[in-house]
Amino acid sequence: MIWAMYFAVAVLLTAGLYGVITKKNLMKVFISLSIMETGVNLLLITIGYIPGGTAPIENGNFAKYVDPVPQALVLTAIVIGVSVTALALSLLIMYHSKAGTLEYKEGMKW
């Protein structure tokens, strides 16, 4: 099961990185970044998983729990991700109303 998760993490990160590198459309770049963020979140949770463990909520029946720390970190990371995305999209809307396009070919030289 862990390997399925690691595989998904690698694909999400790679697909996102590929999108950020190759796509010229700014909206697409931010969609790719969002996918990468999902991948990192999955990586953190997978690191905290312990085979046979249960959710770290005390209920008296189980002795073995998964690591709660990465879950707390991911809660933080998800909210940070949505904040950055919202700001980015409002910037893109403004940029679109000024430039008329979201493709960066000329004006944005790297």
Partner 1 sequence: MHPVLLIAIPLLVAFIIPLFKKYGPSIALGALALNTGISIALFSVVYSTGTVHEIIAGFAPPIGIFLAVDSLSALLAMIINLFALINFMAIGKASEYKFSMLYLLAVAGSTGIVITGDIFNMFVFFEITAVASYALVASRKDKKSMEGAIKYMILGSLGSIFILIGIALIYSQLKSLNIYDIASRISTMDAKIKWASVAMLLTGIGVEAEIFPLNGWVPDAYQGASGGVASLLSFGPSKAAIYAIARIMLVIFPLQKVYYLVLTIGVITLLIGELAALKQENVKRMLAYSSIGQMGLITIAIAMGMNEKNAILAIFFLMVSHASSKASLFLLSDSSGMGSAATKYTGIVSVLGIVGMPPFAGFWGKWYLLMAAINGNMLWVIVLIFFSGIVEAAYFARYLHRYYGNEESFSRLTKYSMAVLATMSLIFGLLPLIYEMGLKTLFGMGGV
Partner 2 sequence: MIEFTIMAWILALLAAAAAIYAVETKDLISSAIAMGVASLVVSIMFLLLQAPDVAITEASIGAGITMAVFVYAIGKTGRWEE
Partner 3 sequence: MRKLAGIVIAGIFFISMMMLFYHLPASHDLSSNEYYYRNPINGSVANESIPEHYIKYTKNETGAVNAVTAIVVEYRGFDTLGEVTVLFTAATGVSFLLSLAVRGRKREEANLILKEGSKLVLPFILLTGAYIFIHGHLTPGGGFPGGSVVASGFLLMMLAYPKFFMKDRISWFESAAGTAFVVIGLLGLVLATSFLQNFIPVGTPGQLVSAGIIPLIYIAIGFKVGSELSAIVNKMKEVQG
CA distances from 42 to 32, 36, 81, 89 (A): 16, 10, 13, 24
User: Which of partner 1, partner 3, partner 2, none does 98 bind, CB closer than 5 to 8 A by kind?
Assistant: partner 1
- State the minimum distance, in angstroms, from the CB of residue 14 to partner 1: 12
First and final C-alpha spacing in the chain: 41
Q: Is 108 in the site for partner 3 (CB under 8 A)?
A: no
Task: List b or e across 94-110, with b for residues whose CB sees 16 or more CB atoms inside 10 angstroms.
Answer: eeeeeeeebebeeeeee
| Eight-state DSSP code of residue 103 | B
Residues of the shown chain interacting with partner 2 in the complex, contacts defined by CB under 8 A: 1, 4-5, 7-8, 11-12, 15-16, 18-19, 23-25, 27-28, 31-32, 34-35, 38-39, 41-42, 45-46, 48-49, 53-57, 66, 71, 74-75, 78-79, 81-82, 85-86, 89-90, 92-93, 96, 101-103
